[in-house]
Structure 1
Amino acid sequence: MAEKSSEPAMVVDDAKSGNEVGVESVSSNDDNSPPAVIGVPLSWKLTSILLVSAIGFGSHWSSGITGAMKSTIKRKMKINNTKFALLDASEDFMVTVLMLLSGLVTDKIGGAGAILYGNIIITIGSILVAASAQTLSYKLMIVGRVIQALGDISTQIAQYKIFSSWFPPNHGFASTLGLELGIGKIGAFVGKSSANIISKNTGNFANVFWAAVGINVFTNLMTGVFYLFTRYANKKFIPTADPATGEKLTEKSERWNFKAILELPWVFWVVMLFSLFETSTAVVFSQNATELAEMRLGISNVTAGWYTSLMQYGGFFIVPLLGIFIDLYGNRISILAFCGAGVFTAMCLVNWTTSLAGTSTAFGIYAFAFCFGPTTIIDSIRTSIWDQNIFGSAYAIKITMNNAMNIIVRVITGRLQDADSDSYTRVTIVYVFLAACSVAVSIALIAVSFRSIDLRRLQWTRKQRVKNGTLINERKDVFEGENGERNRGVSKWCFGALCALVVGSWVGYFWGVAAGKSY
């Protein structure tokens, strides 16, 4: 029998009927029986966050080690920068091929099952990567990374899809993201900072990848617990409703949403434009940061690993606080502008200052500014779309777009570095250009938000969003009705541009493969 939650009931106004909609509990017809629980209790939500964070700790630990060991992998496996770039680009390539389909499937079947199966596949891939390092087989490492990508495709969307079904915008979604991403930063810091230490102390760099296999086994255990927990929770509790709009939040969709991804609102696409430049800057710079520190600062790979780990992940305590701030006070566009400006400043220093002080300052600014990006972007995606049940597809578009851009940037910067005698002189100019584009987009967003209610929703505080719940529903009706034809045209044009970017990334990938073979 269902237990009574101690969390107070939340009540919202139904925009159409004016009736109060309870989202926590209702009375049973039988006066002798306790009320049935409807909303998921806070204690269950917190448990789910901790379980997903444990899963994220393991996956982030593994994700940090390849970049930390770039110079070692190149030396041991006798590969150049172009071939190293293809290690990451191969994973990005598989993501661009299958991520959109994965988003649709996750929306249909829910996130818990996708996480379970995806992590099993990731573990298989990690074993092959470790074996490739042991045997110094570059081709086997490519195969292992591709298999890891197949698993990662399933898991990237699933955990945030679950969060979106339990937490509405401005009511816990950003806080949940912040906590998970903060713990993930700790995991990535431990992995990246310890990678070269394990390699040096054990005398075999392959042991770093075997350690990753062990971490992935732990991740699988946590995933199994989370899968059982979620299945039980879905049977025990009825979905919550959004306090502002009255929308019922669900983990699974009753139908396939093929049409929905072609008709996402233009606000979503402008957030994607910012992410296109800012996220790609951060991903590719982070991948090369350890080797860059070795060259610029004249330090060992172990010291560089610690140095860049602190740079990338030292702000782990900021991210949960940022999530709480966004839930209460909104201002997502302003935060994106701050993040873009900070990363741009850091990239300018990286490009035009080669001194110890200048490089250290650049890394410090980047470490602080980048903390404001991922949580804000993901929460902005959730806030910008009209229907929660297509969040998986919307987030899949973001991942597809970023990975397509990453392929292009990785291959270009790899070739530039090889052509410049392994120097980063030409590479850092690319970082500056991408960061400058993100700043330009954020400035445009601020300007347009003064005129557009739809875009200004991203700035709303919790109180403003609840107060304007009826307005949100009215704007949705206008988007789909009165302005429907024009909006659908804009959305389809944006989706077409995404497809062109993906095809361009495939061309870049195979060009990189051909270029790598020429060495």
Structure 2
Amino acid sequence: MTLVYNMDQDRPHAQQPPDGDSVIEKLPPNDVVVPITNGSESSLPPTKPPAPLTWKLIAVVITSLIRFGSSWSGGITSAMKSTLKKKLAINNKQFALLEASEDFMVAILILPSGLLTDRLGGARTIVYGNILFTFGSILVASAAQVRSFNFMIGGRVVLALGDIATQVAQYKIFSSWFPPSNGFASTLAFELAMGKIGGFVGTATANVISKRTGNFAWTFWVSVFVNLFTNATTILFYWFNTVAHRKFAPVSDPSTGEKLTERSKSFEFKKVLELPWTFWCVIAFSLFETSTAIIFQQNATEMAEQRFNVDAIKAGWYSATVQYAGFFLVPFLGVFIDLFGNRISLMAFCGIGMFLSMALVNWADSQKGFAAAFGIYAFALSFGPTTIIDSIRTSMWHQSVFGSAYAIKIAINNSINIIVRIVTGALQDYDDNSYRRVVRVYLFLAAGSVVVSVLLILLSWRSIDLGYLQWTRKQRFGKGDIWNERKERYHEDNGARNRCISKVCFAGLIVLILGSWCAYIWGAITGHNS
């Protein structure tokens, strides 16, 4: 028989295996399995050692380099909004359509991509995604070279297909290496900081390259070269990840005993449809806060040109600074979340900061007021992505479907982005290229993030399932049995009600996606007939 540690009790007990074979239950990390064989030799294969910290850090560094390259490419189109409108002879509505074309593809395919990533694993998916992303960037650069708006939309669609795969795969990789409150937020924050640096360089140099070379297409060709570097880094990571899984045992959550996986044996549709209500609470905050940030960033460079009365190069530096200046704060935030939790409090802080920034953008008439809005925005933005993504992971009962859960977050944000981008593009054209009415939409979205975050704080005082997001590292490690008990009660005692809530929320997501498709089609029709 085999000595087995039962997580539901505080003492080991002996369990008689069937037919004389040894049985080993899932164990928390660092526990030792002691086979007792009734006088015979154990035939069990030697247990693989856990992955050392050095290997984990190497995985983080390589993945962060991948993020650097993709973020570079992601920052250049919005930075060149005024240049693209002039060179391609398009209006604001058509530019919004160009940006929304990528969001449209993401809204269509991101959910299947999340399921596929959970099934195949992040390392394999990211290789295919980056190859497709690079091919799409070549098409976009070619479209810029021949000055074709329609060609550029086609290139953005292909580029989006690659981006769909890589967005989910990067965070799925981290979720399989690090549990919540045990390195996930810290490594996630480091990767996001590298992404901010890449985005800053891409946004700040986009108009510089365009002016110095005399051809704005060179900005997109430089992006192609950066993507080739990203592909090489991706292949390196795939090889590294394969070796690591061959040498080391899978990581387990030291708090709950859950075994972390990079890929599943089958598609887990049921778990995706039954994501907990706490997950949907985090998604509700992201719907407002992330959408405000993304849509504001799309127009930040051109808005800076108008409000500061400067050329595209200076405006590009201003908008790059406001979007990415907080990169040095992000790693510290990740460490704070891992140690002290308080995720909902950080969401509220981020939401209030975003609202104050948009209020200044809306009501401040002076350049000093607009500069203050940029500064507050840069600070508040630094708290958003790390807190939201870590909260999504922490709110879930099953890590095996984290790829699908993060895909839902992207689907909602992109659907809202499509609707708002098309509407604000039309408003800007109606206002003769002014942002007078557009900024009111930003203010409304930011106010929504404040309202949701305050409601979450109130609910966290009443519900332990939501209050769990506030737990510190010490609390999480000391109350793993409570987490496991709540998980069991969620599925068994209140299973029917909880499944109904989850399915209603998922149905709402589908309605939102369909609404974004209608908005995109409307934008395509009105954009080409204007």
TM-score, length of structure 1 as denominator length: 0.95
CA distance in 2, matches of 1:476, 1:340: 29
The amino acid across from 1:473 in the alignment is: N
The amino acid across from 1:306 in the alignment is: W
Question: What aligned pairs does 1:292-441 form with structure 2 within 5 A after superposition?
Answer: 292-441=303-452
The amino acid across from 2:166 in the alignment is: T
1:21 positional shift: 3.8
1:14 positional shift: 2.3
Alignment match of 2:114 (pick from 94, 97, 103): 103
The amino acid across from 1:87 in the alignment is: L
Per-residue CA distance 1:36-56 (angstroms, 9 max, x = gap): 543211001000000000000
CA distance in 2, matches of 1:301, 1:108: 45
The amino acid across from 2:265 in the alignment is: E
The amino acid across from 1:487 in the alignment is: N
- 1:23 aligned partner: 29
CA distance in 2, matches of 1:18, 1:517: 71
Question: What aligned pairs does 1:126-145 form with structure 2 within 5 A after superposition?
Answer: 126-145=137-156
CA distance in 1, matches of 2:420, 2:506: 21
CA distance in 2, matches of 1:267, 1:316: 28
- 2:293 aligned partner: 282
Say whether 1:14 aligns with 2:25.
no
1:13 positional shift: 8.0
The amino acid across from 1:23 in the alignment is: P
Query: After alignment, is 342-351 or 254-263 more displaced?
Result: 254-263
Say whether 1:273 aligns with 2:284.
yes
- 1:187 aligned partner: 198
The amino acid across from 1:336 in the alignment is: M
Say whether 1:38 aligns with 2:49.
yes
Alignment match of 1:448 (pick from 449, 459, 472): 459
CA distance in 2, matches of 1:272, 1:188: 24
1:166 positional shift: 1.0
Say whether 1:159 aligns with 2:174.
no
The amino acid across from 1:145 in the alignment is: R
Secondary structure of the 1:208 match is helix
Say whether 1:213 aligns with 2:219.
no
The amino acid across from 2:352 in the alignment is: A
CA contact (8 A) 2:72 2:200 kept: yes
CA distance in 1, matches of 2:280, 2:372: 33
Secondary structure of the 1:14 match is coil
Secondary structure of the 1:271 match is helix
The amino acid across from 1:231 in the alignment is: T
1:354 positional shift: 2.5
- 2:472 aligned partner: 461
Say whether 1:259 aligns with 2:270.
yes
CA distance in 2, matches of 1:470, 1:27: 21
CA contact (8 A) 1:110 1:252 kept: yes
CA distance in 2, matches of 1:293, 1:359: 9
1:364 positional shift: 0.2
The 1:212/1:237 distance shift into structure 2, 3 A limit, reads: same
Q: Percent same amino acid among aligned pairs?
A: 59
1:162 positional shift: 1.0
- 1:8 aligned partner: none
The amino acid across from 2:489 in the alignment is: V
1:64 positional shift: 0.3
CA contact (8 A) 1:262 1:491 kept: yes
CA distance in 1, matches of 2:11, 2:297: 51
CA contact (8 A) 1:25 1:38 kept: no
- 1:9 aligned partner: none
Per-residue CA distance 1:87-112 (angstroms, 9 max, x = gap): 11111111111111111111111100
Per-residue CA distance 1:308-365 (angstroms, 9 max, x = gap): 1111101101001100000000000000000000000000000011311000000000
Say whether 1:248 aligns with 2:259.
yes
Say whether 1:492 aligns with 2:495.
no
The amino acid across from 2:225 in the alignment is: G
CA distance in 2, matches of 1:518, 1:102: 34
The amino acid across from 1:61 in the alignment is: W
CA contact (8 A) 2:28 2:253 kept: no
Question: What aligned pairs does 1:73-92 form with structure 2 within 5 A after superposition?
Answer: 73-92=84-103
Residue ranges of structure 1 left out of the alignment (5+ in a row)? 1-11
CA distance in 2, matches of 1:348, 1:139: 36
CA distance in 2, matches of 1:237, 1:57: 28
The amino acid across from 1:161 in the alignment is: K
CA distance in 2, matches of 1:203, 1:345: 39
CA contact (8 A) 2:272 2:404 kept: yes
1:25 positional shift: 7.8
Alignment match of 2:125 (pick from 107, 114, 122): 114
The amino acid across from 1:220 in the alignment is: N
CA contact (8 A) 2:29 2:257 kept: no
CA distance in 2, matches of 1:400, 1:384: 18
1:26 positional shift: 5.5
Secondary structure of the 2:254 match is coil
The 1:13/1:340 distance shift into structure 2, 3 A limit, reads: farther
Secondary structure of the 1:259 match is helix
- 1:481 aligned partner: 492
Per-residue CA distance 1:436-466 (angstroms, 9 max, x = gap): 0000000000001000000000000001011
Say whether 1:508 aligns with 2:519.
yes
The 1:432/1:457 distance shift into structure 2, 3 A limit, reads: same
Per-residue CA distance 1:113-142 (angstroms, 9 max, x = gap): 100010000000000000000000001100
- 1:291 aligned partner: 302
1:15 positional shift: 3.3
CA contact (8 A) 1:196 1:305 kept: yes
CA contact (8 A) 1:169 1:327 kept: yes
Per-residue CA distance 1:379-420 (angstroms, 9 max, x = gap): 000000101101011001001111001000100100000000
